[in-house]
C-alpha cells in the first residue's frame, strides 16, 4: 500500500459476532468504521477504549474505513485520554439504564405480591367463609 496519513484514536464500539466496530479520532470528528481485518494478527482481539493508530481510506461505497490499525503502547497522550472519555459515558449510561430496569422489576414484583395476597386473602371478609343456607 502507498503511504497513508496516520491518526490516533480510541476503539469506541465493537461487535464481536460481526467483526466490526468504530474508532473515534483523538482530534474529534466522525467515528470511522473498522473491521477485524484491519487489526494486527497478534492474537489479541479488539478491546473497547483501546488506544490505536490507524490510516483512513475511502471504500468503494464512499464511506471512510480504518486500515493498518496498530495498538498504542501503555503511555497514552492527553488527546487520547480525552477521546476515551466518550466510552466511559456510554458505560455510565448503560449502568444507569440497568439500575432503572432493576428498580422497575422490583416495583413490579412488589405489586404482584400485594395483588396475590389480596386475591389469596380478601381484605373485607375476615377469616370466615360465607355460609350458604338452604
Q: pLDDT at position 88, please?
A: 63
Q: pLDDT at position 34, please?
A: 92
CB 22 within 8 A of CB 39: no
Say if residue 134's pLDDT is above 90. no
CA 60 – CA 83 distance, rounded (Å)? 28
Average model confidence (pLDDT) across the chain: 79
Burial class (CB in 10 A: 0-12, 13-18, 19+), 1: exposed
CA 41 – CA 132 distance, rounded (Å)? 82
Q: pLDDT at position 29, please?
A: 79
CB 65 within 8 A of CB 56: yes
| Domain residue limits, the chain | 6-84
Q: State the pTM of this model.
A: 0.51
121 DSSP assignment: S
User: Which CATH code fits 6-84?
Assistant: 2.40.50.140
CB 66 within 8 A of CB 55: yes
CB 38 within 8 A of CB 53: no
Amino acid at each position: 500500500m502507498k503511504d497513508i496519513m496516520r491518526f490516533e484514536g480510541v476503539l469506541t464500539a465493537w461487535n464481536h459476532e460481526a467483526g466490526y466496530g468504530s474508532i473515534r479520532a483523538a482530534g474529534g470528528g466522525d467515528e470511522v468504521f473498522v473491521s477485524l481485518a484491519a487489526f494486527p494478527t497478534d492474537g489479541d482481539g479488539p478491546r473497547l477504549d483501546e488506544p490505536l493508530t490507524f490510516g483512513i481510506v475511502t471504500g468503494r461505497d464512499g464511506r471512510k474505513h480504518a486500515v493498518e490499525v496498530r495498538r498504542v503502547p501503555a503511555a497514552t497522550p492527553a488527546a487520547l485520554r480525552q477521546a476515551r472519555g466518550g466510552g466511559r459515558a456510554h458505560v455510565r449510561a448503560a449502568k444507569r439504564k440497568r439500575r432503572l430496569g432493576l428498580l422497575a422489576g422490583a416495583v413490579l414484583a412488589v405489586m404482584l405480591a400485594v395483588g396475590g395476597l389480596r386475591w389469596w386473602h380478601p381484605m373485607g371478609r375476615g377469616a370466615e367463609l360465607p355460609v350458604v343456607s338452604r
